[in-house]
Structure 1
């Protein structure tokens, strides 16, 4: 990390290392023009209320006007927010972002009548509209996605009541957030150098990676002992959130809260169940990794606080940005000349905001709109992690680029279910390249350790989370109550199941469920594991089969939202309705373990 004194003001950074937001709006006056256009269009679309189904022509007019509004308001919001992210202290762009956010809400309110009114149109009449109104066929899949869930929508009046209850329904998550982020205070411990350091959410994993076992243990106990003091409050907030999920699933006539959550993207429940089954079938590989970790660390007893510390010494790989770009370009060559040309275009056209500056938003992301470049925000730090972050975000950006270039606006985005696939494919292909080019044994071991930890954290750990989420929803659906004791008991048993006999399952880990915000996101975490597994399957096909697999993969990137995510992945050669992609990913995990063991 850069020290504070090293961080420059934004005006000290060369233009070529800043993203070209002027390509969206030449100046803020042009932004204001679009803002006012949206205001006028909002008044226009209100005139269609109670008229959506009167004719095919009217339906087409409404959908085209809605698309026009959404397309412009996305530009307005994205530009303002990205300008704010350049320097979060900038009052001007804080204000523009607030205005853009309010405008987005206004758009949502003004268009909220469209879906309920589409659902009132008889399907035979809809089919007649599709056949006889030129231009409406484009919207067929979009409308079919709405109609497919018709039986799960209520009357307009009931839907209005449910919408009004939204803020109330989000209370458990809001309370969790305030307790977890604002009110809880963690203890101070002594670090490796004898300095006093207060445990925070931000530094906890860093402390768990410490080479000093005493520091790891103190951080582990300090964090979870604090959570334990609030165990009953956390149990009530989580239990209340699950009851909310179950309420919505019942009201919308689903068989379970899991089915309701997955149906949004037309994901069969067996995808979730197959993930858990496939990981269960491969738990011996995790036990093997845990045993190796215990051996390499030279411990009589491996504890939960020993899971994050690196197995091999840090490799000091100083990789300046220009060198990082070259490594990424070379590493991603298996994806074909066209893919590499687009990446180069991104480098040359200033898609990327490269370096940290004072006030800049932390982390990294890929973002943009249908009409803009697929921009990337980085805080590049001249190290290996930054190179992988660059490859990861380029995966998202190329996915967006291909989708927008090949799909109309209505299908120019892609589902959350596939969102992490393209980014992880890039990381996996780059990792294989870097392992093959490692200069010495230590460098190779470092990379293998990094890769194995991705599997542990993304496939095994997220699947354990997914199984816990399923179990706790089923507890309440089956008429049982959730208490702090029952949550801790279930969570500790899952840790025992997933990590095996060669690790001590410390009592403190039973409280980990209390600190995971994703448990309030309604069956979200499984997508990390499925996305990673799909990406590993695709990257292995690309590396082994070449051109044919690359073509299928590029077609996947081009598909956007033109079909359901499961179907889009099937066409690319990965069937997530079977356990095979997860099984195959974990075969690679075993192969990497073999390689690591042979080097140690």
Structure 2
């Protein structure tokens, strides 16, 4: 499809069927009016949440309101994403945002009121038979209680909320609005302005001078702002320390993991297990150096293509067939759901004028999930298709096996199902490939995912841990401290084959994730858990498939770590990381074979 078409011209078979959610605008309007009415009703429980009967009725109404609000919100926004310029759905999207705020305000008294009950009463309610469907909610509340403050203190913390956004907001303004980069030469020798978007393109250039120049220019520009950016990051760390102390957590790291009930061991084990596997990354760096035919491997060589120009043209129909074949190990039931998704109006396939960019899987409980794509006929798009369908089938199985409140899985679990599908697709393609060039292209693609998702994100996670611990010990975080910590980590991770350029010491200054603290480790754990599952499924077959499908059906009915553990992946031990690393090692071995 060379020309971008208008939304009205998209054929029905390439559109998602949002009529499955609301058959008409009239139906949507009726549900909207109903939610407005219900939001007023929820207030009648205020002051009465001191017994199992009232709490049960209140929770039932809360679920009803939340579900209907979610349906309205999802529909309005997916319509808006079909054509972002359409004023009708812009307005509808805004209308549902306002409704969500209204609904949240109306229900905001529920948790604090239940938590104000004496400990013994709260403990008794956790095991009250009437509240059996809400046992996890009640346990969560009991668990959170030591960290909930008095009404006045909570009100004060809420007011500090806007102020606490300051470091992130300031960084965003510096990084996206005020920071201007000089011009650099592109592959054709033309002077073009360096931007965030172009930077990665330059690093992927086949011309080494272009890569080096963009790399040095990028970090020299950040270097000029080193004092300001160090103060901004340090202020964000101070904010995290303030909240963890105010809420009586032992550390900022524990405060961030507490909500998902993830033990600190999971975080520390990830770092320890990745350290144990660093010789593999060093071996991959050696291989990179050999394939690029350079005397010294530099930081700006990490994204350089290792294979001569190689393009795989894959139409959407071919992509569907290949994905269908690749998930065969997951059994008949999974294949049937995937087929239903492909043929049943779940997917919005191609780009059209005004359509939201990127890809996602979304939906509301009670209706099948939806997937937005902007499909191009290439390898990347095929991986995106299987990735998003992994999310969709996870949601489908959660929704059909759990009640509304327990169906929603955490971010910690979200990337497992999508990445597992990618691992199976990669395994299928590598086994099928007979062209050495294609095989090398695929192996490089996969090996780089390990490098960027497991090693790089773990290095980020380790950096965050070190700087928070320093601040907790009362040490300052100057730009010299941040740069030294960051540079030393790069030396440790990349090994002797890498000439670690001094410029990289400023990279901490451009990572937006550092303002959403202790988040990036979830990329590495999710990828490792998925790779571990894929290995078990391909090695063991049926028993491993059953465990994995059990994981998909569990939704959020238990804590993330427990759900994974039952399925055969124990993230509190280093084993899943080791299993993932054995896959990485086999990729390197295959690449070494091909280069002999």
TM-score range, shorter chain: over 0.9
Which residue does the alignment assign to 1:149? 144
Change in CA separation of 1:127 and 1:153 when aligned onto 2, cut-off 3 Å:
closer
Change in CA separation of 1:265 and 1:484 when aligned onto 2, cut-off 3 Å:
same
Q: Give 1:491 deviation, angstroms.
A: 0.6
Q: C-alpha separation between the residues in 1 aligned to 2:574 and 2:521?
A: 14
Offset from partner CA, 1:415-452 (integer Å, 9 cap, x none): 11111000011000110000001131011111000110
Which residue does the alignment assign to 2:112? 116
Offset from partner CA, 1:458-495 (integer Å, 9 cap, x none): 01000000000001111111101111111111111110
Q: C-alpha separation between the residues in 2 aligned to 1:77 and 1:529?
A: 31
Q: Give 1:329 deviation, angstroms.
A: 0.1
Q: C-alpha separation between the residues in 2 aligned to 1:126 and 1:262?
A: 23
Partner-residue secondary structure (3-state), 1:50: coil
Q: Give 1:8 deviation, angstroms.
A: 1.4
Unmatched 5+ residue regions in structure 1? none
Match of 2:20 among 12, 19, 23: 23
Q: C-alpha separation between the residues in 1 aligned to 2:432 and 2:365?
A: 37
Which residue does the alignment assign to 1:457? 452
**8 Å CA contact retained: 1:356, 1:378:** yes
Q: Give 1:344 deviation, angstroms.
A: 0.4
Which residue does the alignment assign to 1:266? 261
Q: How does 1:125-136 map to 2 (within 5 A)?
A: 125-126=121-122, 128-129=124-125, 134=130, 136=131
Offset from partner CA, 1:289-339 (integer Å, 9 cap, x none): 001101110001111000001211232211000000000000011011100
Does residue 436 of structure 1 match 2:431? yes
Q: Give 1:187 deviation, angstroms.
A: 2.1
Change in CA separation of 1:436 and 1:370 when aligned onto 2, cut-off 3 Å:
same
Q: C-alpha separation between the residues in 1 aligned to 2:504 and 2:123?
A: 56
Q: C-alpha separation between the residues in 2 aligned to 1:533 and 1:526?
A: 11
Q: How does 1:312-327 map to 2 (within 5 A)?
A: 312-327=307-322
Q: C-alpha separation between the residues in 2 aligned to 1:424 and 1:332?
A: 12
Partner-residue secondary structure (3-state), 2:5: coil
Q: C-alpha separation between the residues in 2 aligned to 1:159 and 1:377?
A: 39
Which residue does the alignment assign to 2:219? 224
**8 Å CA contact retained: 1:236, 1:483:** yes
Does residue 138 of structure 1 match 2:133? yes
Q: State which drifts further: 276-285 or 369-378.
A: 369-378
Q: State which drifts further: 441-450 or 101-110.
A: 101-110
Match of 1:254 among 218, 242, 249: 249
**8 Å CA contact retained: 1:75, 1:371:** no
**8 Å CA contact retained: 2:147, 2:247:** yes
Which residue does the alignment assign to 2:102? 106
Q: C-alpha separation between the residues in 1 aligned to 2:263 and 2:485?
A: 26
Does residue 77 of structure 1 match 2:73? yes
Q: State which drifts further: 297-306 or 100-109.
A: 100-109
Q: Give 1:363 deviation, angstroms.
A: 0.9
Offset from partner CA, 1:381-420 (integer Å, 9 cap, x none): 0000100010111111111000000000001110111110
Match of 1:448 among 428, 443, 447: 443
Change in CA separation of 1:132 and 1:194 when aligned onto 2, cut-off 3 Å:
closer
Does residue 196 of structure 1 match 2:207? no
Q: How does 1:560-579 map to 2 (within 5 A)?
A: 560-579=555-574
Which residue does the alignment assign to 1:44? 41
Partner-residue secondary structure (3-state), 1:376: strand
**8 Å CA contact retained: 1:57, 1:133:** no
Unmatched 5+ residue regions in structure 2? none
Match of 1:493 among 483, 488, 497: 488
Offset from partner CA, 1:63-94 (integer Å, 9 cap, x none): 11111111011111111111111111122211
- The number of equivalent residue pairs is 595
Partner-residue secondary structure (3-state), 2:355: coil
Offset from partner CA, 1:353-390 (integer Å, 9 cap, x none): 11011111111111111122211111110000100010
**8 Å CA contact retained: 2:184, 2:193:** yes
Offset from partner CA, 1:514-533 (integer Å, 9 cap, x none): 11111111200001111111
Match of 1:35 among 27, 32, 37: 32
**8 Å CA contact retained: 2:122, 2:142:** no
**8 Å CA contact retained: 1:374, 1:401:** yes
Q: State which drifts further: 565-574 or 150-159.
A: 150-159
Does residue 543 of structure 1 match 2:538? yes
Q: C-alpha separation between the residues in 2 aligned to 1:578 and 1:228?
A: 39
Which residue does the alignment assign to 1:404? 399
Q: How does 1:286-325 map to 2 (within 5 A)?
A: 286-325=281-320
